[in-house]
Structure 1
Amino acid sequence: MTFKSQSLTPAHNKDFISLIDELNVSLGNITGDSGESSFVADDFDLSRDGCIVVYVGNKAVACGVFRFHSGQTCELKRMYSKVPGAGSFLLNELEDLAASKGYVGAVLSTRRVNERAVKFYQRNGFKEIEAYGKYMGLERSICMGKPIVGFHH
């Protein structure tokens, strides 16, 4: 399967919105919470945030976003993939884009009950870190982080 990616602004992109709708349903089924409250697309700042949609042909199959977190660290959000291999491709593309914007590290939070996501991030070099922000004191959440190298191609 050949993947291609497109960097875009998320707020009004129909492919991104459609994938996020699927993500919300999926997370709602797995965790009981869609995660929608953690992301406001209108706050997007192209100078420091990034959004990528991955395609196979003309079909959007994966999406993800990073936002400024602190210093030279970004936070990955709204990661979703519906075909095997697209998630890893997406993560590499996001890391490259983040590196090009000066980031040297990435953090994220997901629910511990979402074992597929936790295992995916572990396979891709993420390690558990101390909880941050609104995730502090939440046993149901796992915060993870890794250095970003960039330029995987």
Structure 2
Amino acid sequence: MLVTLILQDMNMITVEKSDPFSSESHRLIEMLSEELAAITGDNGKSNFTIEGMYDDKALWVLAKNIHGKAIGCGAIRPLTQNTAELKRIFSDRSMPGIGRALLSFLERSAKDMGYSEIRLETRHINHRAINFYEKNGYIRIENYGPYIGRTEAVCFSKALHLY
């Protein structure tokens, strides 16, 4: 599966399944970890492992620009049989629309994989992420799993309509 998004000024973003162990993936994961540590004081690595991407119902993707340079990443992994969890979504913000392209691709892929819901966690202090998810139809829910009782965490959900 491949998604190409054409944006203004002839900018193009391609999103595709990728190797989570590639050097491009590693570079983006480290950029995300540094950014999260600066915003929240936590690099976010404690609730995600690359090895988890080898599950049949998990998916790791990269967004690339017209020159083939990786400019964003993201993943879904199983939370329950019908619920995927969105993890490690990141855009280097080198052009507009990277996050939206990643999110669209991951949502469509989750539906294709049989999921009916996507959940995610971010931190209350990460206003950019909160605004992004709310703008894209995610609603706040009670904290789930490892985030129960963690006051710094905020969780979201989005129903994936299986038409």
TM-score normalised by the chain length of structure 1: 0.93
| Aligned CA distance change for structure 1 residues 120 and 150 (closer, same or farther; 3 Å) | farther
Q: 141, 146, 154: which one pairs with 1:134? A: 146
Q: State the 1:71 CA deviation.
A: 2.5
**CA deviation vs aligned residue, 1:36-62 (integer Å, no higher than 9, x gap):** 111111122342001110000211111
SS at 1:17 equivalent: helix
Q: Secondary structure at the match of 1:44?
A: helix
Aligned residue pair count:
150
Q: Which sections of structure 1, spanning at least 5 residues, go unmatched?
A: none
Identity of aligned residues (%): 34
Larger Cα Rg: Structure 1 or Structure 2? Answer: 2
Tell me the alpha carbon deviations over residues 91-148 of structure 1, each in whole angstroms, 9 at most, x when there is no partner. Answer: 0000111111111110000001000000000000000011111101111100000012
Higher relative contact order (CA 8 A, sep 6+): 1
The runs of at least 4 consecutive aligned structure 1 residues that moved more than 6 Å come to none
Alpha-carbon distance in 2 for matches of 1:65, 1:82: 16
Quote how far apart the aligned CAs of 1:68 are.
Answer: 0.2
Distance in 1 separating the partners of 2:79 and 2:62: 21
Counterpart Cα distance in 2 of 1:118 and 1:54: 21
TM-score normalized by structure 2?
Answer: 0.88
